[in-house]
Structure 1
């Protein structure tokens, strides 16, 4: 199926991206040897991420299955879009990756991610990783052929102030703010009726494509959201919890709302409690304002509690135009962590 891209009066993306002809590796004088990541690196890369996340005091730990997903996806060019810095003993001390989602139709985006081992910080490694990431992101955007507004984006936990300073020095600007929220499940759960004309049923494979289409429709008016291709939609499900996930069907059995959950057991020991996590929640525009999102969350909380979970968690864009932040607060969720998106707009 072809996708009609919106016309713009912008100069061609190849011009705006100002991509370098060559993306040089960081200086060997930094003490690390650089090469692309491979699937063989998953255990060592997971250990590196654990060291980074522990030092940064973030309330999560990236598990080995999640790291393995970095290599999944036919659209990914792991050979050219990832970087691993190894010390003299072959231990990974820094990493980077650039990802350009294939479904982008309004803004073509390149997400730059990476990190540096706490023992190797303040040596210039972080700046070198960011420089490589931005050079490669510009190359990827230029090669996309999509003459759309373009963006290089990175997310930073708000407690990691050094990373925020590093991105600011690299020319990035904070543009969006996100909150992680949680609700205790030992408190009385909200009683929210499902609106007439809709039934809420457990997620099942036969509903998944309908949920994808509903998601693309529901988020078409959300800042920073782009349509997801079927492969993107199915990607990143190593922590997916189907028994905690729900869809809402109208009288024609079309998906008009959905709630997809994750089970992040690696986080439980760090935080000192068990939790179910709402990965995605959405309601198509025609069904907004009728309490369907609240009903989905109420049913989700009940499912979490039935499985012995102590908290329900989710993340939200604090400037979400549908008022999601207010909805979650009204249901008893409270902020416990936050992050910021930094971008270069092209």
Structure 2
């Protein structure tokens, strides 16, 4: 087998999208992306495709890829986080491609983490997908362990009637709220496992993404400060994704998260553009988010695992 090893670039985007969407179906992750969405990833703050990606070709067919993302800031636990993502086409599995990609990405992750966060603890992470995902044995062999489970939940639209939104502080997300939203997000997620504060450039990049659906995003605002918020996006036709739900610790216990979430769902239903809403929740969310989502009609549909290897130990 003669394979060509290179990196992801704009020319690779169509083949990258084709492979990504095949893997979403074969491995049942349902993580589908359009080529335009993946093209945006090439210019993410802190990501250098020439150094932080791998593309493996058999002729004109992209058979595997890998991406490395190292956090711009330390996690709230004080760790430099490196996330390795990617996959191998099912027809080319079992030939050592994934092993070689990890052999390239892990040292690069250590190098970049040391450069950005010298002297700080370092952790490699990777998704282990569903229980029967072929990546899991490889990750275990390389010293990774399951550190967290995340559950995808769905709700049909319009579905069961939604409770009324009664808090006058809840309203649409507008462009001028971008920075207040970032500040609220960093405050809200300071107690969440594995989270790192969002830098201004990083947050702005997300707020300008093609996938963002600001029309169905909602926030509770008082005196110019965002107290609670829901940010929505879309990657699949007629399916809305709840990207982030957060509430500042000082504003918890007031039912604000339920109010902004309900307002977002009502706005989505009113458009007539969506049949389904999906979100992912940490299985041990410190704020009990799973119960909140169940209370407005979400039900679990699949659970994936995140693997990690602390300190880059081999």
Larger % of strand: which? 2
Which has the higher mean CA deviation after the structures are superposed, 209-218 or 99-108?
Answer: 99-108
Alignment of 1:225 with 2:195, yes or no, is yes
Q: Which residue of 2 aligns with 1:93?
A: 63
Q: Which residue of 1 aligns with 2:124?
A: 152
> What's the CA shift for 1:186?
3.6
> What's the CA shift for 1:152?
0.6
Q: Which residue of 1 aligns with 2:285?
A: 320
SS of residue matched to 1:48: helix
Alignment of 1:64 with 2:43, yes or no, is no
Q: Which whole-Å CA distance do the structure 1 matches of 2:231 and 2:192 have between them?
A: 18
Q: Which whole-Å CA distance do the structure 2 matches of 1:75 and 1:221 have between them?
A: 24
Mapping of 1:171-182 within 5 angstroms? 171-182=143-154
List alignment gaps of at least 5 residues for structure 1. Answer: 1-29, 269-273
Residue in structure 1 matching 2:247, options 274, 283, 289 = 283
Q: Which whole-Å CA distance do the structure 1 matches of 2:131 and 2:20 have between them?
A: 16
Alignment of 1:299 with 2:263, yes or no, is yes
> What's the CA shift for 1:57?
2.8
Q: Which whole-Å CA distance do the structure 2 matches of 1:275 and 1:93 have between them?
A: 28
> What's the CA shift for 1:235?
2.8
Q: Which whole-Å CA distance do the structure 1 matches of 2:164 and 2:74 have between them?
A: 35
Q: Which residue of 1 aligns with 2:157?
A: 185
SS of residue matched to 2:134: helix
Summarize the Cα distance change of 1:186–1:204 in structure 2 as closer, same or farther, 3 Å threshold.
Answer: closer
> What's the CA shift for 1:230?
1.4
Alignment of 1:164 with 2:136, yes or no, is yes
> What's the CA shift for 1:213?
0.5
Q: 8 Å contact 2:45–2:202 — kept in the other structure?
A: no
Alignment of 1:247 with 2:211, yes or no, is no
> What's the CA shift for 1:162?
1.1
> What's the CA shift for 1:239?
0.8
Residue in structure 1 matching 2:185, options 199, 215, 219 = 215
Q: 8 Å contact 2:162–2:266 — kept in the other structure?
A: no
Summarize the Cα distance change of 1:145–1:107 in structure 2 as closer, same or farther, 3 Å threshold.
Answer: closer
Q: Which residue of 2 aligns with 1:337?
A: 302
Q: 8 Å contact 1:214–1:283 — kept in the other structure?
A: yes
List alignment gaps of at least 5 residues for structure 2. Answer: none
> What's the CA shift for 1:159?
4.8
C-alpha root-mean-square deviation of aligned residues, in Å?
A: 1.7
Q: 8 Å contact 2:165–2:262 — kept in the other structure?
A: no
Q: TM-score, normalised by structure 1?
A: 0.84
Residue in structure 1 matching 2:48, options 77, 89, 99 = 77
